Amino acid sequence: MGEVCLIPAGLECCLGQRMVLLKVNQKKISSQYLLFALQSEFVQKQIRKSDRTGSTVSNLCLPDLRALEIPILENTSNIAAALKAITDKIKTNNRINSELEAIVKTLYDYWFVQFDFPDINGKPYKTSGGKMAYNQTLKREIPEGWDATTLSKITPVSSQSVNPANYPDKVFRHFSIPVYDATNNFGIEAGETIGSNKFTVKDSDVLVSKLNPWFSRVIYAMEEEGLICSTEFVVWRTPSSNIKNFLYMVATSPQFIAHCTQSATGTSNSHKRVNPGVMMRFPVPFNLEVAKALGEKLDSMIKAIIMNQRENAGLARLRDWLLPMLMNGQVKVI
């Protein structure tokens, strides 16, 4: 797909050699409408047909760029406004998620890396002089009375599976690697289109990818019907919602990602996997009551992040569904 973006007015920037700056005649067409038109399948097909360079990297020659046909319809400003409203909502959700993610990561770091969780007086434990003890497994000091606990002792792993082909008419919410990478969400598929056994997923689960663990594919399951996932995931069937929240933070932590990355094996650099047993041997400084307390504090923020991701996936589908129909006049915006 030809990549296009809109440069905000007044912004000074430099372009790479493989980029072209289009200066739009605003009397004929708005920049916003042109952006959406260039992203439409009608124009993208022209771009793909015009790639005749034979190079490994696709290129669009300037004469072919000038020859692109752009659909000009009535009410182009209304079309652009409708699509921009969807895009703006996606951007707003992303900004909210960035803020929430920063907060939950900071809280996890304070409580389980710096050990400044609230003590019995509500003061930061370590900073206020809480007793620490050296732990041989973790090679560092942790609060006195805490343990270095492996993930396998905190949560079981589920291998419960289903063959979707046995339910050809059932609609599944399928977490696969390609769809998750593209949308941060599941794909909606009929059982007859899914070719192999999948793990079943419950709302208590955290899914952690074995494949190329440096990409940190971690899924926080919600209460939804027909959830399944690729067997490329390890399914942590957590014992409670608060522990689930704690483990979600562990799974997205730099320490866990480094452990899995260092342990990943395979003949191809693009397809390395961490053994589930090795993954579950990862030790964390652990205190059950503090972990539950942190999980309770994080609950609403983590769920808001996931719901925003779900909403964005739906909005993107709506935008992609509307775009071609708006561009060919099937749907009109008044």
The string of pLDDT tens digits covering residues 147-167 is 999 999 999 999 999 999 999
**Residue 304 maps to a domain:** no
- Predicted local distance difference test score (pLDDT) of residue 30: 76
Contact 284, 259 (CB under 8 A): no
Which tokens hold the place of 72? Answer: 């000009």
Q: Is the pLDDT of residue 56 over 60?
A: no
The predicted pLDDT at position 13 comes to: 72
Structural domain total, the chain? 1
So what's the pLDDT on residue 82? 87
Q: Please, what is the Cα angle at 14 between 8 and 89, to 5 degrees? A: 30
In a domain, 159, yes or no: yes
Specify if 55 maps to a domain: no
> Do 162 and 198 meet the contact criterion of CB atoms below 8 Å apart?
yes
Q: What percent of the chain has pLDDT over 70?
A: 92
For the chain, give the mean pLDDT.
89
Q: What is the mean pLDDT of residues 202-225?
A: 96
Instruction: CATH number of the domain at 164, please.
Output: 3.90.220.20
Of 93-107, 234-248, 280-294, 307-321, the least confident: 307-321
pLDDT of residue 40: 74
273 within some domain: yes
Question: Cα–chain-centroid distance for residue 189?
Answer: 19
In a domain, 301, yes or no: no
C-alpha–C-alpha distance, residues 41 and 51, integer Å: 15
Q: Roughly what angle, to the nearest 10 degrees, separates helices 41-50 and 288-327? A: 80
Q: Per-residue DSSP letters for 229-271?
A: E-TTEEEEE-SSHHHHHHHHHHHTSHHHHHHHHHH-EEEETTE
Whether the per-residue pLDDT at 44 is higher than 90: the answer is: no
Residue 236 resides in a domain: yes
User: Which structural domain, as residue segments, surrounds residue 166?
Assistant: 131-286
Instruction: Tell me what the mean pLDDT of segment 106-135 comes to.
Output: 97
Whether residue 1 has pLDDT greater than 50 = no
Task: Check residue 199 and give its pLDDT.
Answer: 98
Model confidence at 236: pLDDT above 50:
yes
Average pLDDT over residues 112-140: 97
CA proximity to 80, closest of 150, 139, 32:
32
Average pLDDT over residues 41-57: 68
Place 325 in a pLDDT band, splitting at 50, 70 and 90.
Answer: confident
Is the whole-model pTM more than 0.75?
Answer: yes
Whether 227 is covered by a domain: the verdict is yes
Residue 302 lies in a domain: no
